[in-house]
Structures are given as structure tokens and as C-alpha cells.
Chains A and B, each alone.
Chain A
């Protein structure tokens, strides 16, 4: 039986004023002329709701770059979806926020790159930190939920306590601390971003203590770096099981990075309906269920929990999208992850040096 999906991830645009060194968008961005029009998005939202989806994540790029965002929020809400806006906040002001809230926005997730302004702006490749901070009081005065999102990595993980304190001070309902996942641009900067084991151990202790102390006041969700895990993450809750992502040009993907998997054809919502794509398209069936699984997944007790892990990571590291996720301790290709982890940890034997020599970042260059 085909599983029923829960959430639609709507990548409205690849345009963005930031160029974060761990950007999860594909290396090759789509231009604004390729973007879906308003009408098509509104149809997609209705089809998503009809298919039983409950949530939509309006994301990008920077979704605020869409001039029809207010209409899209209203359309999604009219379709009875819960409307999340995943944003850097750049492009938002008080009157625009009012429009979005009136249109039916439920939840705003605001990303921060660090607590330290200089470090944050360096990661974003743009001077934006102070402008983000100024937005928070505007959001808090309105009847929508606020999540503060912090992406963590080697360069900022030692400031975790300050990050938690900032989110507390800002009055966020929810704090999401997400370790960088190594795809796309993040993979290009992996050397500079992968934390050490000692950093990770300290961060886990910090998170636990904060979750205990802030229970009922601020909810803290923590995404661990899977390179240090024993078993893989249930990527997207399993391929074609819970989520569907639509990219700016209308291609329907089972996850953010799936577009790079060779020889897999992705349908476009301009030509096909969402229910058909979800149930019948080749791409969504390819790694759904257990038929495709190699050993050791096929006979593993955990196959119903992690669904074989991440197909894109298998492709990037092991060279085969149908391989066991290389981060799994049982995967034949785990030695490739171990080698990277060993290398990163050997580089800093000294405990938390004050001035560490980091490899330089590689930035995305946006077409204008």
C-alpha cells in the first residue's frame, strides 16, 4: 500500500541574498525565469491537501524573494495546510509580516548563522546578522509560532551555550540546532565544517542540560551529525514515505538532493498531478519500501526504522545511490566516513585552540 504523505516542501525560488557555505540547494541553481507561476503553486497546494498532507514548508532559496508570497501563503492556508515559512528574514519588514500573518501564516522559522555577528556574516557571505536580530520583536508581537534555527559546525559549536541563551532571550518557542549535513555546497566545505568528536560530546551534554532546564519554556530539537552516528538517519522519514519536495521549476523530488541521482527521471507538476507523482512515478517508487535494499539492510532489524538511510549520501560517498548509507557502521563503505572523521580529529589534538587555522571557505557565486 502506498504510504500517505504528511508534508510538502515548496522550494519557491533559488534566489537568495545569502550564500551560506553549507547551502543545501543544488550546486547548479535554477534561474527566476524557470520558476513556477502563482497559479501552478496554488493548484499544487490544493492537490497536496487532497492527498492528505497537513503541512507545507515555504522555503527556497529565500522565499521572501517571491513577490507573490502573500498570495501563496493565503492559498496554502485556504487549502487547509499548516503554513511554515523557512526564512533568513532578509526582505521582511513589519508591514510585510502583517500581510503574511493576515494571509494565514502559522509559523516562522528564522535562521541564524551564529551568535557572533562577524562569524555569522562570514558564514552567510553577507552582512545580515544584525537585521535578523531586529526582526524578532516584530514576530513575537504576533500570533504565530517562532522557531530559531541555528546551523552548527566546527567553527561555532563551541558557542552552543551562547546560542541557547540568545534563543531564550529572543523568546523563541522552539530552538532547532541542526548540524550541517554534507551535501551540495556543504560537502565542498566539509573540511572546514565537520566538528571534532570532543566538540560533539560537549555539545550533546550541553543540549541535554538545556532541554532539562528549559522544559515547558523552550523546546530544543537537535539534529546530530550523522558522520558520528552508529546507524543512519531515517532520511526524510523514508524515501517516498512522508514528504514531497517541489523545486522552483516544478520538479517533484523525494528529498532536497535527489536531483543529482543519475538516470532517475523526476516528473514535473506542470505536466503531472501530485497524486499521480506520489503513487505512480518512477522516482517516488525507486527506493520506496524494501525491494531495492542491498545487504546488510535487507535483513537488518533496523530497516523499518531508518529505511536504509540516505540515498544521496550513498551516491556521494559510495558512488551508488542504491548502496547502504555509508555512515552505517554495518555499511561496506563505512571506512570512507571513518577516514574523514579520523583526519578531522587528528588535525586538532590540542583541546579547543584559541586561534585555529581553518581551511578557507568556498562561496557560491550568484548569477545576477
Chain B
């Protein structure tokens, strides 16, 4: 397995996409499953295009939420993406 690092460029795996009808909470759809996303989860997922490194994704989030504690955002993002990688929802 490829270890996740801050240089990894996450992208949604084939057959995994954002969904949900208008007005509902956004969901990440995957084979035989779905994950309901909060605002941050949604933002991270939208940035998993393969173009940005995890470090760059964190940069954007820090600006976006005007967060004082970059370390915490880094940790949360890493955990979230690692979890999705283990489900084979995010690839590198």
C-alpha cells in the first residue's frame, strides 16, 4: 500500500462521486454505500481531484475557515483522507 503523506495528491476513485438531491445533506456515494458529509468533509472531497497535494488542500482550508491552528486542520484532513483511502474511495 502507498502511505499517505502531505505530498500525496488524492483523487476520488472510479465509481466514487458526490451526490444527494437538492436541499439534502451532501453525500459521498461509493459502491454499495454512502457517507454523509459535513461542511469540511464536503470541502475536502471537492478538492480531491488529483491536482492538489494534501498540503495544498490544507492551505486552502486554512484560508477558507480562517483557522488559527494549521496543525489541527492538517491532522483532521490527514485522518479523513486516510479513512477514505482505506475504503478505496480515494486513490493517490
Contact = CB atoms under 8 A, between A and B. Distances in A.
Contact of A219 (B14, B17, B34, B88): B88
B73 interface: no
B31 A109 contact: yes
Interface string B6-40: 00000001111101110010010111111000000
A173 B86 contact: no
A336 B31 CA distance: 36
Interface string A96-129: 0000000000110100000000000000000000
A143 interface: yes
A144 B19 contact: no
B16 A145 contact: yes
A54 B29 contact: yes
Given A174-B88, A219-B87, A147 B19 contact: no
B88 A173 contact: yes
Contacts of A57: 32
B1 interface: yes
Given A214-B1, A215-B86, A219-B87, A107 B31 contact: yes
B85 A144 contact: no
A42 B27 CA distance: 23
Interface in A221-275: none
Interface in B60-91: 85-88
Contacts of B29: 54-55, 82, 106
B32 A84 contact: yes
Nearest to A172: B88
Contacts of A143: 14-15
A64 B15 CA distance: 19
Contacts of B87: 219
A82 B87 CA distance: 17
Contacts of A49: 21
Contacts of B19: 54, 80, 82
A55 B16 CA distance: 12
A219 B1 contact: no
B86 A80 contact: no
Given A55-B32, A55-B34, A84-B32, A106 B27 contact: no
B8 to A, nearest CB: 11
Contacts of A145: 13-16, 30-31
Contacts of A84: 31-32
A178 interface: no
A196 to B, nearest CB: 29
Interface string A46-86: 00010010110100000000000000000000001010100
29 contacts: A6-B34, A7-B32, A49-B21, A52-B24, A54-B34, A55-B32, A80-B19, A80-B20, A82-B17, A84-B31, A106-B17, A106-B29, A107-B15, A142-B14, A143-B14, A144-B15, A145-B14, A146-B15, A147-B32, A173-B31, A174-B88, A215-B86, A216-B2, A216-B85, A216-B86, A216-B88, A219-B86, A219-B87, A219-B88
Shortest 6 CB-CB distances between A and B: which pairs? A145-B15, A216-B1, A82-B29, A107-B31, A173-B88, A107-B15
Interface of A: 6-7, 49, 52, 54-55, 57, 80, 82, 84, 106-107, 109, 142-147, 173-174, 214-219
Given A6-B34, A142-B14, A143-B15, 19 more contacts: A7-B32, A54-B20, A55-B29, A55-B34, A80-B20, A82-B29, A84-B31, A106-B17, A106-B29, A106-B31, A144-B15, A146-B14, A173-B88, A174-B31, A215-B1, A216-B1, A216-B86, A219-B87, A219-B88
